[in-house]
Amino acid sequence: MEFSDFLQWPILVGALVIFLAGYMIGAARARNERDLIGPPPMRGSPQPTPVSSNPPKLSGKLAEWADLDEETEFAINNALAQGKTIEAIKMLREATGKGLKESKEAIDRWR
């Protein structure tokens, strides 16, 4: 057995220790950066946004639309809560017989 054979093991063990230490430091940094970014992503499907069962009542400039029944008003509020502005405009036009411009302006004020 030569002297060079005894030198190989400490070098290999030292290299392994350095590699494992670097790996553990990198993993700790990644975990800390992830914590700074925000909470981990949720598993499963996201919960739907609840729609208000108490829609706001029309007031002020929208008083002209007060002849809407509660069902239509509720449907328009649901459409607006879901981001379906065009659907809300269509429903308002059908319910009142007003033009596109008037209905769009009313929905913009309604929001």
Residue 68 lies in a domain: yes
The model's pLDDT over 50-89, given as tens digits with 9 standing for 90+, comes to 565 565 555 444 555 667 788 888 888 889 889 999 999 9
| Whether residue 70 is found in the same domain as residue 98 | yes
Provide Rg for the chain, Cα atoms. Answer: 32
| Residue 8 falls inside a structural domain | yes
DSSP string of the chain, one letter each residue: --HHHHHHHHHHHHHHHHHHHHHHHHHHHHHHHHHHH-SPPPSSPPPPPPPPSSPPPP-GGGGGGTT--HHHHHHHHHHHHTT-HHHHHHHHHHHH---HHHHHHHHHHH-
Q: Look up the pTM and report it.
A: 0.44
| pLDDT for 91 beyond 70 | yes
Residues 72 and 30 in one domain: no
Domain that holds residue 24: 1-44
Structural domain tally of the chain? 2
Answer for the pair 78, 51: CB distance below 8 angstroms, yes or no: yes
pLDDT digit string (tens) for 4-53? 666 677 788 888 899 889 888 888 777 766 555 556 566 665 555 656 55
Q: Give a yes or no: residue 53 inside a domain.
A: no
Considering the domain architecture, whether residues 30 and 66 belong to the same structural domain is answered as: no
Question: Would you say residue 55 lies in a domain?
Answer: no
